[in-house]
Amino acid sequence: MAQTPIPAKPSTPSLKRKPRLAELVIQAVLFLCGLLSIFVTVGIIYELGKESMLFFGRTQWELTNKPIVADISSSDVQFEVGTSGASAQPGDVLRLGDELMLLDTVNGTTYGVERGYRDSVPSAHSAGTVLQRGVDPSIAEFLTGTSWAPHAGQFGVLPLLNATLMVSGTAILVALPLGLASAIYLSEYASQKARNTLKPILEVLAGVPTVVYGYFALTFMTPLLRTLFGQDTVQIYNTASAGIVIGILILPLVSTISEDALNAVPRSLREAAYGLGATKLETAVRVVLPAAFSGIAAAVIIAISRAIGETMVVALAAGAGPAFTFNPFEAAETMTGHIVRISGGDLSYDSLDYNSIFAIGLMLFVMTLALNIFSQYIVRRFREVYE
Amino acid sequence: MSAEMLQSSNLPLRHRLGRVWLVIFQVALVVGIIALCALLFNIFDGSFGYVAVQDKVNPATLAVDGVPLEELDKDTLVEILRSHVSAGLMARYEFEKPFAEREAGEVYDLILERVVAPEFVAQWSLYQSLTNADEIRQTVAEQFPEARVEFRSWLNWHFLRAPQSSYPEIAGVRTAVFGSLWTISIAVLFAFPVGVAAAVYLQEYAPDNLINRIIQTNITNLAGVPSIIYGILGLAIFVRALGQFTSGIAFGVSDPATANGRTILSAGLTLGMLVLPLIIINAQEAIKAVPASLRQASYGLGATRWETVWHHVLPNAMAGIMTGTILAISRAIGETAPLIVIGASTFIQVDPEGPFSKFTTLPIQIYQWTARPQSVFRNLAGGASLVLLGLLLSMNATAIILRNRYRRSQ
């Protein structure tokens, strides 16, 4: 800044910086707006975490279908149970009506219990009342169990996770080769004019709402697959159809970001390769592609994260009902599909279903966040900087 | 480049390889474009086509003394209606709007809806209709001898004007379109000022310190969070914790039907949170593009920081901010999952009246219709998809026009 000396007049007020209240207030308001995004993140983590804790801390009651055979008074510590239904193990918590009991001994059909467990009030129960067994969802069971039926005491998230991974895997199998090849063509071969026409067309694909893709999957892709592979092989709802359509959905993401990365590689590298006698293909695949590696890898990871979080296509086309299957032509519910189906009805607060969507949501959030952070790391770590 | 490759100067082979791969690259691109075409074709395929329509009562039999139905006067029409529908329904119509005040045309419409009651007994896609017209007529003549074959555009004037209905013959998207517009407006009212303010702070004010770097990284990460997570957050915060406010009880508006907080306001705020990071990132890019010389000139003339931002930076960046915002909104308008999670009602027959109303939106309508087992609702979903795409197209066109106008005026 030019330093022009200002003639000092006695009447001139001091040039010392004055605090301007209005400016400070404005700056504070702007800062708060910026800070709001932190609150959103904190809100997500807090709510997901809090409700998930409730999910894991809540005892679920499983119907054993095992009745008591005779009336018991409020002080009996031993009673006979029927032979039908699932048997309980010592250490299990049982529920009869509103009363909880700790099962001490099992001797054939004779159960010895501690009455009034966990401060419940011992009371008399009539013959035929069915025992309920308490099940505590543990994080280990949540992560390793292969059956998801919370109301029956089964809390394994693997069927949902498996379906999510199958759908995203199919999507990447579709989107990665197509997206990368289109990006190489657009960046290395296509004329400027062709690029200016073709790129917007791919971007139109990115702007179509996902529910329309769901409609497309159910009314076009599924019938197509059933015609190709047979009505008996391919179920009406299947993960392959949803996966392929999600692949089409993330294709523009892969191709446009990769194309930008390829375009950013300086011309001099290509010219050097040509100068050494490389063909156009060799230049593109052996010089330009490795140079743009960080950008392309980031694009692919972001696309995977998008595929994992994609909801409407799987809600419409992948099936309603958790199933642990590796067959892409069978119906299986993904994590997102499950959340949508469970919350589609009027969800009552603090219920098992309400807490379970937070537990699944937390897992989804952690997975996508880890992928996003990983992509940023790759960009930083492997970026090639050219003068 | 590997050494053995340069030594192997089998040039014809290398060039042939190059040509083969070029074809592969081109095919990949063409497949992508074919996918887009298939998507569009599929929507049009469902939105138009032949339907077989069967009337419950043939309108010709309703003619009085040889005068056809549409030429009868109002009193005769009311009599016909009275003789065909229950007294309770007549009383309801009388209550909604007395027959003395209704036009003859309105009564005629009621007769069509309630007495003639056309029903779609079968429907075909556009492709089938174009290629198999004769076969379709033949099938209808055999299976539904009383039905007639009509070519129907599922996207029509009635479809746009009519409220939701469980009868596909009279169902429309008006309530859903209003619901979408309401939620989007609230989302913009919330996210636009906050987003631009945050972008201004980050670009113009924020010193490079830890907290600001955290804010910046956080915004980038928020943009990658799946939309359904925002739905779960909206459910926990706006619907549950702030239910008193979002259902309007705190403001004295209490409607038992919406008192659980599953209102337009909750939906709008949830979508607002969802687009906030997108708006911030786009606005930052726009502000970054304003040349530094403008700011320096402004400071040189003695303007304060805020005066510089308000009078010079923002007006210059406005075109970019607007474009970015509209693109963010067009993402929000197609969002379905978060709204289902916060509990959008799916069956609404009255227009939303304000932010505390229950609502449904266009994408939710499409989802509901697609998920129904009866195929006739798929056609409705196709028509609704066209409406949604039309809405998106017009918004994107607005973004382009706006950008061009701002560019010219500078």
pLDDT digits 0-9 by tens, B227-257: 999 999 999 998 888 887 887 777 776 666 6
Question: How many Å apart are CA B330 and CA A209, to the nearest integer?
Answer: 9
Give rounded-to-5 percent helix, strand, coil for chain B. 70, 5, 25
Q: Which one has a higher pLDDT value, A4 or A270?
A: A270
CB contact under 8 A, B218 and A37: yes
Tell me the mean pLDDT in the region A127-145.
Answer: 80
Nearest-by-Cβ selection for B337 from A1, A285, A311: A311
Amino acid at B54: Q
Average confidence score pLDDT of chain B:
85
**In A, residues 282-321, which contact B (CB 8 Å cutoff)?**
282, 285-287, 302, 305-306, 308-312, 315-316
Which residues lie closer than 8 Å to A221 by C-beta, 6 or more apart? A241, A244, A245, A317
Nearest-by-Cβ selection for A214 from B197, B306, B367: B367
Min mean pLDDT across A145-159, A199-213, B1-15, B192-206 is at: B1-15
pLDDT, tens only, B76-103: 888 888 888 788 888 887 777 787 777 7
pLDDT at A31 over 50: yes
- CB contact, 8 Å: A333 with chain B? no
Helix A352-382 to helix A293-309 angle (10° resolution) is 170
User: How far off is chain A from B364, nearest CA to CA, in Å?
Assistant: 8
How confident is residue B145, by pLDDT bands cut at 50, 70 and 90? Answer: confident
CB contact under 8 A, A215 and B43: yes
Question: How many Å apart are CA B100 and CA A16, to the nearest integer?
Answer: 81
CB contact under 8 A, B280 and A308: no
CA-based torsion, B297, B301, B302, B303: positive or negative: negative
State residue A1's pLDDT score: 44
For B309, which DSSP code? I
Question: How many Å apart are CA B142 and CA A290, to the nearest integer?
Answer: 65
Q: List Cα–Cα distances, B392 to A215, B67, B120, B296, in angstroms.
A: 17, 47, 30, 40
**In B, residues 40-69, which contact A (CB 8 Å cutoff)?**
42-43, 46
State residue A123's pLDDT score: 82
Tell me the mean pLDDT in the region A118-142.
Answer: 80
A75 phi and psi, to 5 degrees?
-115, -5
Structure tokens at B393: 């197209």
Structure tokens at B403: 């950008």
- Please report, rounded to a whole number, the percentage of residues in chain A having pLDDT higher than 90: 42
State residue A65's pLDDT score: 77
pLDDT, tens only, A67-100: 888 888 888 888 888 877 777 777 778 888 778 8
Which one of A215, A236, A289, A358 would you mutate to disrupt binding with B, by most B Cβ within 10 Å of its Cβ? A215
Within 10 angstroms of residue A267's Cβ, the number of other Cβ atoms is 7
Question: How many Å apart are CA A268 and CA A386, to the nearest integer?
Answer: 10
Tell me the mean pLDDT in the region B377-403.
Answer: 87
State residue B1's pLDDT score: 46
pLDDT at B162 over 90: no
Query: With b meaning 16 or more CB within 10 Å and e meaning fewer, what string describes B62-98?
Result: beeeeeebeebebebbbebbeebbeeeebeebeeeee
Question: How many Å apart are CA A56 and CA A137, to the nearest integer?
Answer: 5
CB contact under 8 A, B226 and A364: yes
Q: What is the DSSP string of B347-386?
A: ---S---STTS----HHHHHHHHHHSSSTHHHHHHHHHHH
B67 phi and psi, to 5 degrees?
-85, 125
How confident is residue A8, by pLDDT bands cut at 50, 70 and 90? Answer: low
pTM: 0.85
CB contact under 8 A, B335 and A209: yes
Task: Give me the helices (H) in B48-96, please.
Answer: 74-84, 87-96
- CB contact, 8 Å: A187 with chain B? no
- 8 Å CB contact between A245 and A174: no
For the sheet containing A130-135, what is the strand order?
A: A60-67, A130-135, A93-96, A99-107, A110-114, A78-80
**In B, residues 75-114, which contact A (CB 8 Å cutoff)?**
none
Question: How many Å apart are CA A151 and CA A104, to the nearest integer?
Answer: 25
Chain B CB contacts of A198 below 8 Å: 29, 33
pLDDT at A210 over 80: yes
State residue A30's pLDDT score: 92
Which residues lie closer than 8 Å to B324 by C-beta, 6 or more apart? B278, B279, B281, B282, B283, B285, B286
Report strand pairing: A99-107 vs A110-114: antiparallel
